[in-house]
Structure formats: C-alpha cells, structure tokens
C-alpha cells in the first residue's frame, strides 16, 4: 500500500504534492509495485489538529476527479463518511479509518452499503494528544480486544467478514516499547483478519536508531519484513520500490528453502 498525502503537514511528505504532482506520484507508486495507493488529506502525525470534511474534500477534489472511472486501485484515508462517500464514488476500494469507525457513526454503514472494504486502526486518543504519555497494562491484549470489538461493530453494520482489515496502529498512542511488542504480536491480530502494518519512516526509528525522517529506510524495511514474517498481509509504505524489492527477495529465499528443504 503506497502512501500519498495531500496535506501540508504530514510528518514525512507533507506539502510535497499539489493535485498535478499527486497524480504523477500515484502513477509512480503503482509503477514501483504498489497494489493499492492510500490517498489522504488529513495528517495523523502526532500533534496534528483535526481537518474538517470540507477541507479534506477541497484538497482531494482535483485528484478524485482525475481518478473517477479509472482503473487505479486506491483507498481513502479518512474518518469522515462524507469524504469516504465521495472517494467511493470516484472508485476507491477501501476506507482506511484510523479512528476505526468511532468518529463518524455513518462510516461503517456506508462501507457496508457500498460493498467496500475497511481498515480499522487502533489509536489511543486523537492525533493531537495520542503521544501524551501513552500507557497500557497489556498493550497487545488491549489492542487485540479493541480491534476485535471494532471488527464486530463492522460486521454488525453489514460489512462482509472478508472486507474487514485491522491495523494495530504503530505509533498511534504508543511508546517505542509498545510498538515493538505489537510488531512481535502481529500473528495474534491476524486471527481477526488481514493485518495492515504501517511503520514507514516513523518516529520509533528516530528513538531506536537515532535517525532523521529521511534516514529511516533500513529500519522501515526491517520492521516491514518482520511484520510479514509474523503474518501481516499489507505493508503501508512511502518507499514502495524498496519495500517491494525487500519483500520479493525475502520471499524468494523462503521459497528456495522450502523447495530444497
């Protein structure tokens, strides 16, 4: 899952793309090997303020117009049913909601009505306050229970069981230790459904490795491979070509081992 942010303040690529360059970047991500591109217009970096649905739609409109009726598989990164509806009209196949359907009661019924898929993410608090001293008695168990409850809510809203993905929310209200524990426990979340993992360029690598945002590729790739080894189905990444190469190499080695074992 390639990342394309139409935001002025996302932590890694904020302000990089106007509508014209966004379409070019989307095509580049697909050419690099993305299966789907996640398009968003609201930053969810730590400390980010909420962005209204109207402002999200203003930022998204030119790109959605260009995508309408096309064949590019894309998801919409939003918690707003209104934004999701417009994106689904333009051909989005998945709604990626970091608030897991809790911010807008119309979102899960909309996904069900439209026959789309949804990714439900665990986040403690909101982007504005999620990193203010996050604490858990049992981070893996608490995240697992939350995702299970939200999956049940999606099913009760009418979303098909094969259309619900879960995301443990690396960096969304977690310390470095929490993030590492969740990555090691991906297999537990996979019992709920396909697991999406987003670790690309995140702050955990600044803490773990002392690397700035543009120096975190090695850490991102290592964490992505570990997540897939534990059972993750989707890796959300800025550096699609490098991630695809790493995954293909890792898989080829595994295939060779099995064929000669």
What's the pLDDT score for residue 18?
Answer: 63
Give the Cα separation of 219 and 53 in Å (integer).
34
Give the integer Cα–Cα distance in Å for 21 and 202.
Answer: 24
Distant-in-sequence contacts of 215-221, Cβ < 8 A, 24+ apart? 217/242, 221/246
Q: What is the pTM of this model?
A: 0.92
What is the pLDDT, as a whole number, of residue 11? 44
Instruction: Give the helix, strand, coil percentages of the chain, each rounded to 5.
Output: 50, 15, 40
Q: How far is CA 17 from CA 26, 59, 81, 221, in A?
A: 10, 10, 24, 24
What is the set of active-site residues?
A: 202, 236
CATH match of 2-260 with 3.20.20.20: yes
Query: Quick one: pLDDT at residue 20?
Result: 67
The answer to whether the beta carbons of residues 72 and 34 sit under 8 Å apart is no
Q: Which of 102, 209, 81, 177 is nearest to 147 (CA)?
A: 102
Can you give the pLDDT at residue 100?
98
C-beta of residue 232 within 8 angstroms of C-beta of residue 170: no
Cα 260 to the center of its chain, rounded Å: 36
Per-residue confidence (pLDDT) for residue 172, from 0 to 100: 94
Whole-number pLDDT of residue 69: 74
- CA pair distance 57, 186, nearest whole angstrom: 33
pLDDT by residue, tens only, the chain of 261 residues: 999 988 774 444 544 556 567 888 889 999 999 999 999 998 787 888 889 999 999 999 989 988 887 778 999 999 999 999 999 999 999 999 999 999 999 999 999 999 999 999 999 988 878 788 899 999 999 999 999 999 999 999 999 999 999 999 999 999 999 999 999 999 999 999 999 999 999 999 999 999 999 999 999 999 999 999 999 999 999 999 999 999 999 999 999 998 886
- Residue 113 neighbours by CB under 8 Å, 6+ apart: 158
φ and ψ at residue 6, rounded to 5 degrees: -100, 65
């Amino acid at each position: 899952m390639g990342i394309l942010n139409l935001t002025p303040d996302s932590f890694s690529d904020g302000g990089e793309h106007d509508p014209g360059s966004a379409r070019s970047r989307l095509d580049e991500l697909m050419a690099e090997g993305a299966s789907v591109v996640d398009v968003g217009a609201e930053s969810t970096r730590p400390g980010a303020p909420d962005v209204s649905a109207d402002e999200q739609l203003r930022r998204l409109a030119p790109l959605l117009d260009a995508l309408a009726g096309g064949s590019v598989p894309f998801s919409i990164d939003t918690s707003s049913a209104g934004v999701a509806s417009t994106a689904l009209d333009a051909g989005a196949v998945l709604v990626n909601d970091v608030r897991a359907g809790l911010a807008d009661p119309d979102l899960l019924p909309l996904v069900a009505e439209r026959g789309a898929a949804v990714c439900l993410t665990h986040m403690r608090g909101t982007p504005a306050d999620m990193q203010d001293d996050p604490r858990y008695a049992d981070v893996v168990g608490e995240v697992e229970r939350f995702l299970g409850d939200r999956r049940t809510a999606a099913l009760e809203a009418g979303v098909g069981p094969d259309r619900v993905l879960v995301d443990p929310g690396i960096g969304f209200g977690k310390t470095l230790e929490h993030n590492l524990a969740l990555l090691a426990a991906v297999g537990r979340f996979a019992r709920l459904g396909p697991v999406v993992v987003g670790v690309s360029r995140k702050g955990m690598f600044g803490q773990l490795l002392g690397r700035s945002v543009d120096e975190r590729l090695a850490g991102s790739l290592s964490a992505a491979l570990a997540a897939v080894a534990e059972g993750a189905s989707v890796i959300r990444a800025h550096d699609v070509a490098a991630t695809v190469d790493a995954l293909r190499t890792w898989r080829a080695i595994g295939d060779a081992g099995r064929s000669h074992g």
